[in-house]
Each structure stands twice: as structure tokens, then as C-alpha cells.
Amino acid sequence: MISFDIERDLYKKDIIMIGVDEAGRGSWAGPLVSTACWFDFTKYKSLHLEINDSKKLKSSKRREIILSLENFVKYSSSIASVKEIDKYGLSYANAIAMKRSIFSLTHELKKNSQIYKKNCFYIYIDGKYKPDFENLDDFLQIKKLHLCNYSIKALVKGDSLSKTIALASIISKETRDDIMRQLSKKHPSYFFDRHFGYGTSSHINAILNNGILDSHRKSFKPIATIYSKKNL
């Protein structure tokens, strides 16, 4: 069961936890979205909304959760664009999106003296590996925030262990789905509001019938194959 056990243990040590998760890694189209999230679980304990893995929730439930937690959560969502994914590769683009969301959130938390007085942050990223942030040109901006101590850790199945990470997953998923819904309005014959850019049969048929868009990730093998045949 998803809990606040990690957050609670860190809180006892005067450490603030930030949970990070992304959405859209496996999609053939659209951006990657990363969300960094801080959850005030000390006030949340009186609420009983079920926070679960975003993939297990309907959009209406995700929206309900996000709206109901406005007073208990601070978060920042950032993207890595299709151009960045194609130029740098998926892993590096994912690190870019996560860096942006982490920096934006920590900068916002610094404005809150009650939070920032602890001045120690543990950043937990859902997954087996943590991105190689140190090779990003401007990741050192985080160090300029003068955090006395911060640590970045990967947590396997983090969205099933920590409610903060689970909420980051929910926000990333819903934010990205909204982007793809808007893309669907612009390109209705591709049905992005149904498959959200993933490699479903309807998406494949739309590509074969209508061609490849700028929103498609041409570095991805299925898209690259179609794209290369088109340009023969």
C-alpha cells in the first residue's frame, strides 16, 4: 500500500522530501513531462482520497485528486520537447525535463521560510536509475539555491511506495494527457486524445494514412522506419 513512511522518516530528521516522476517515455509522439512534488503530509492525514499509480486511475479521478490537494502540495511540471528527445536521446531528454522541474520547485520552496528553514532536501526519483544530472550544463543552478544538503536517489517502484512520488506521477500523466488532447484538436485525424501518442493500431493507421507530424519522435525506431521510407 502506498504510504507516507519515507516522508515521515525523513521529516523526523528535518529533511524535506521531493518526489519526481515522468510521463511519456514510451510514446511515439509529444513531449516528456516531469513533475517534482513536495507534499505536506502533516496536514493531509485528515483526508482520505486514494492516491494511486497514475496508470491505474481514470483522468477524472486524477483531476479530482490534483484539485483537492491544492492546499497541501507544491509542484512544478516541465517538459522535454520532441526536438530535444530527437536531438539528445530519451534518457538525456528525461534528465533535462527532471532538472527543470526540480529546479523550479526548489526555487519556489525557498520562498517559504517554514519549509526552507530545514534546508535539507532528499530528491527521490521513480525508477531504477537516477539521471546523470551533473552532465547537464545548467544543473548547477540548483546548487546556487544554497541547499545545505541535498541528495538525489532512485527508488524502484517509487510510485507504489511513496504518496509524494505517486502524486508526481498523477500530475505528470494528467499534464501530458492535456497536452496530447490539445494536439488532437489540432490534428483530429490522428486521435491523440485516445492513444496519447503510444503505438496503438489506430495510431499506426493514422500515420500510414496521413503521414508523420512534427510532433512525432523521428528518433524512435517505428517512426524512423516510416520516415525513412517516406523520404526514399
The answer to whether residues 35 and 21 touch, using CB atoms and an 8 Å cutoff, is yes
Residues 155 and 80 in one domain: yes
Q: Please state which of the ranges 68-77, 80-89, 106-115, 175-184 shows the lowest mean pLDDT.
A: 106-115
pLDDT score recorded for residue 140:
52
- 21 plus 119 within the same structural domain: yes
Helix (H) or strand (E) holding 30: none
Dihedral angle over CA of 49, 54, 60, 64, nearest 10: 30
**Do 116 and 11 belong together in one domain?**
yes
Bridge partners, residue 121, by sequence:
16, 150
166 and 207 share one domain: no
For position 149, what pLDDT does the model report? Answer: 65
The pLDDT score that the predictor gives to residue 156 is: 95
Please, what sign has the CA dihedral across residues 58, 35, 112, 155?
positive
* Domain around 204: 187-230
Q: Which residues of 147-181 are buried (b: 16+ CB within 10 A; e: fewer)?
A: beebebeebeebbbbbbbbbbbbbbbbbbbbebbe
pLDDT, mean over the chain: 86
Q: What span, in angstroms and rounded, lies between the C-alpha atoms of 106 and 79?
A: 17
Domains: count for the chain:
2
